Amino acid sequence: MKSLVKKPYILSAAFSMLSFGAFAQTVEAHNDAVYVTEHYTKIEKQIPMRDGIKLFTVIYVPKDNTKKYPIMLSRTPYSAGPYGPELYRPSLGPSMLFARDGYIIVYQDVRGRYLSEGEFVATRPYIPHKKKKTDIDESSDTYDTIDWLVKNVPDNNGKVGTWGISAPGFYTTMTTIDAHPALKAASPQAPVTDWFMGDDRHHNGAFFLMGTFSFLSYYGAERPEPTPDHAPKFEAYGTPDSYQFYKNLGPIRNVNEKYFKGKNKIWNEMVDNEVYDNFWASRTPVPHLKNIKPAVMTVGGWFDQEDLYGPLKTFAGIEKNKPTSANYLVMGPWTHGSWTRGNNESLGNIRFHSETGPYYRKEIELAFFNHYLKGTDNPELPKATIFETGSNQWRKYSAWPPADAQEKNLYFHANGKLSFEAPVETGKAYDEFISDPDKPVPFTKEIRIDRGSDFMYEDQRFAASRPDVLVYQTEVLDQDVIISGHLLADLFVSTTGTDADFVVKLIDVYPGDAPNDSPLPGTKMGGFQQLVRGEVMRSKFRNSFAVPEAMIPNEVTEVKFDMQDAAHCFKKGHKIMVQVQSSWFPLVDRNPQKFVNIYKATEADFQKATHRVYFKKGQASSLKVSVLKS
């Protein structure tokens, strides 16, 4: 939760101890907080829904009542607070540019969270054909909220925009379905879209353990009645080392036995729905993104550790139905939600050589909403505004993926070679490794207890040196290779077990004499292996996410999976690398390598297995990429 202010606070001499950058940020935060209290009046209301449930809503109205203002609405499960008429948020809106430009800004606790009445349902399913007042969903709650706001909030101009990041991004997506006529523009940002296929909780059926355990420890806790307080987050790890903590935890079934005691509703829903059944299918908004009337700008980050899947699939879902309203996609070099703050000039060792955050906030985000809600000049946004990493430049496309992108396969070869040429090998053309659940491949070289985001752009040399990680790389590139679009892993594998995970990582290998332009002092970039994209597949879901199938021991099997999208320039002098492994721990839970319900597996179910990856003619493992002309 953001820090809260009651009245403008005073800068002290302690600031002399801060760096210039930190000092500047602190001054800016102080100025923002002062601006909010001086220029806005705060109103708290319980807004009735059609079924009689009341949702707690905080409304910030400009004190200057000589104008009419559009409304910006964010619905959130993370608190609309601070609670109390004299307690103000220190900043308002998607950015303070909105508060300073003049907007009515509204936050609402979604049903069943904090001070709103009702029952909370995470990613509540949409009801297409509502027959009675008790048939409610997030779309109907938004409709009722907007209807009340435009009729009751003073000085509004009758136009509404919605925005939100992560779970609030999901709620923003839902505002566009059966939208209220006053809703003119919406921006789902890193929107939770499918908790089984690729957002937060699972990727391709594989359970994202550490993020889910930590998050649900408070998000899934009981809330018997409305309260301004949130449940405490689990902190009793007893070690700074997540690898050790989750190894000691043992099988996933131990979470309830040791910690949650069966009382965490959302955790129970996770482990009770091992396959892609109706529980999951009913919770994604993508099939319902039809006849969308508001203008939509979906935003995401290429280094988003939580919801990279969501923005790509939300945009594609709307685009597929050929909307008559504007539909835009913006993808920048950002971690989860980081586009809302800071200059975004670098991540870890990687420098982008431009202030990507301020550019987005002013030239794209504010311009988009101002046009649709205030009638300012059309910013003429392209269909897709995409930051291409590697070359570090914004690109504008009339379609996403780009219309002129050409699909090519990066094929695995003997002796760790990687090439766009198909293999001609026959016979025993494979590499193999032993996967041991007792010694899984770590997701990071750092000792840390929280997941963080660094693993999304971390140097992968720590993994490349392990015997249970296969490495394939091209020769030194004699020209730039630009990928822009979808990635698909297509593996031919076998295993001595009956289930297995396969993790594929696409990596940019820097030359040995790469300049040390990292923002981190003392960093050497020569040979740096930058993770461009990594993804996991639980092989029992290779043919169906609803009906899992055991692997047949020692039988060559094709396993294809979605690796989501990327936009990256592998520069001349670099190499392209692909790493293949079968664990990514504790980011992803351990696969017992035995065909069982992993949520119910016991320690005895976990076993070593030998995995083979094939690269012969007719069984050529590859990574399909979309290549642009440089």
Could you read off the pLDDT of 387-398 as tens digits, one per residue?
Answer: 999 999 999 999
CA-wise closest residue to 266 among 405, 121, 137: 121
| pLDDT for residue 109 | 98
Mean pLDDT (whole number) for 255-263: 96
Decide if pLDDT at 8 tops 90.
no
Note whether 431 and 310 are within 8 A (CB): no
CATH superfamily of 13-194+291-397: Alpha/Beta hydrolase fold, catalytic domain (3.40.50.1820)
Average pLDDT of every residue of the chain: 95
Cα 148 to Cα 450: distance, rounded to the nearest angstrom: 41
pLDDT for 459: 96
* Res 178 pLDDT > 60: yes
Is 90 exceeded by the pLDDT of residue 619? Answer: yes
CA gap 450, 141 in Å, rounded:
34
Q: Within 10 A of 315 (CB to CB), how many other CB atoms are there?
A: 26
pLDDT of 86 higher than 50: yes
Check residue 29 and give its pLDDT.
86
For the chain, the domains span 13-194+291-397, 406-628
DSSP state of 370: H
Residue 403: pLDDT band by 50, 70, 90 thresholds?
Answer: very high
Measured at the CA of 453, the angle between CA 573 and CA 538, to 5 degrees, comes to 85
Could you tell me what percent of the chain has a pLDDT over 90? 92
Instruction: Look at residue 258 and tell me whether its pLDDT is greater than 60.
Output: yes
Percent of the chain with pLDDT over 70: 96
Distance CA 101, CA 369 (A): 11
Residue 246 — φ and ψ, nearest 5°?
-75, -25
What separation in angstroms does the CA of 344 have from each of 219, 351, 518, 520? 29, 9, 14, 14
Between 17 and 60, name the one with better pLDDT.
60
Residue 618 has pLDDT above 70, yes or no: yes
Q: Interior CA angle at 480 toward 474 and 483, to 5°?
A: 80
Angle made by CA atoms 271, 275, 277, in degrees to the nearest 5: 105
Tell me how far apart the alpha carbons of residues 151 and 153 are, in angstroms, rounded to a whole number.
6
Site of tokens 């490794």 = 433
pLDDT-derived band of residue 502, with 50, 70 and 90 as boundaries?
very high
DSSP result, 69-114? EEEEEEEESS-----STT-B-SS-SSSHHHHHH--EEEEEEPTTST
Instruction: Please write down the HEC assignment for all residues of 534-564.
Output: EEEEEHHHCCCCCCCCCCCCCCCEEEEEEEE
Q: Quick one: pLDDT band at residue 23, thresholds 50, 70, 90?
A: low
Report the range of poorest mean pLDDT among 168-172, 520-524, 592-596.
520-524
**558-601 pLDDT per residue, tens:** 999 999 999 999 999 999 999 999 999 999 999 999 999 999 99
Superfamily of segment(s) 406-628: Galactose-binding domain-like (2.60.120.260)
pLDDT at 1: 38
Cβ-based burial of 10 (10 A; exposed 0-12, middle 13-18, buried ≥19): exposed
